[in-house]
Amino acid sequence: MSSRKISTIRFFILAFAFLGNRHSGIALAQQARTRFTVADEIGIAHFGDPYYGEAEVLLFSPDGNYFAVDTERGRLELNQVEDSLRFYRTKDIQSFLQQSDRSQPPSPVWVVDRSDKEGPVIQSWRWLPDSSAVAFLEGGGDFADKRLMLADVRKKTVEPLTL
């Protein structure tokens, strides 16, 4: 197995650990003697698009300075699906891995949350060749209902490229 693939696996495992503190379904495992409910299951974050395979789980930017992780979960209180892209600096994660005495993992440099009545909400996402942004299709349902979006990592903005 190549060192790039081993590194990707490590990053994926760490990303899972970061998300575990932020989503109720995983946090429930740490609480003593609570019952697991349907609402808890709906709120569990899944990596990528586990149902249709239309979203990658983790992608490094072409220059290697960033990577992004895609998750999806249900938002029962909104009756919607929420997808998130979490952007991390590669050097922050490498530093964390090299310093075993650090108790807090690095936070993402930016999180893009998108919601819709149907999922997956973020699909077919790809880094731009200059590593400045991620382009993705947004919207659940039919292809005609989707629009092309641009998430600019440097400006921390999301803008539609199509109607």
Count of Cβ atoms closer than 10 Å to residue 100 Cβ? 7
pLDDT in tens, 71-111: 988 887 888 889 999 999 999 988 888 886 767 888 999 99
C-alpha distances in angstroms, 80 versus 92, 104, 140? 32, 31, 10
Predicted TM-score (pTM) of this structure:
0.73
At residue 26, does pLDDT exceed 50? Answer: no
- Strand extents, DSSP E, 27-99: 46-47, 58-60, 66-75, 80-89
Do 46 and 27 touch, CB atoms closer than 8 A? no
Q: Tokens 């989707």 appear where?
A: 146
Q: What confidence category does residue 22 fall into, taking pLDDT thresholds of 50, 70 and 90?
A: very low
Q: Tokens 């760490």 appear where?
A: 14
Dihedral angle computed from the Cα positions of residues 77, 72, 111 and 87, in that order, rounded to the nearest 10 degrees: 170
Rounded average pLDDT over 2-30: 52
Find, among 110, 30, 119, the residue nearest to 74 by Cα. Answer: 119
Count of Cβ atoms closer than 10 Å to residue 144 Cβ? 6
What one-character DSSP code corresponds to residue 52? T
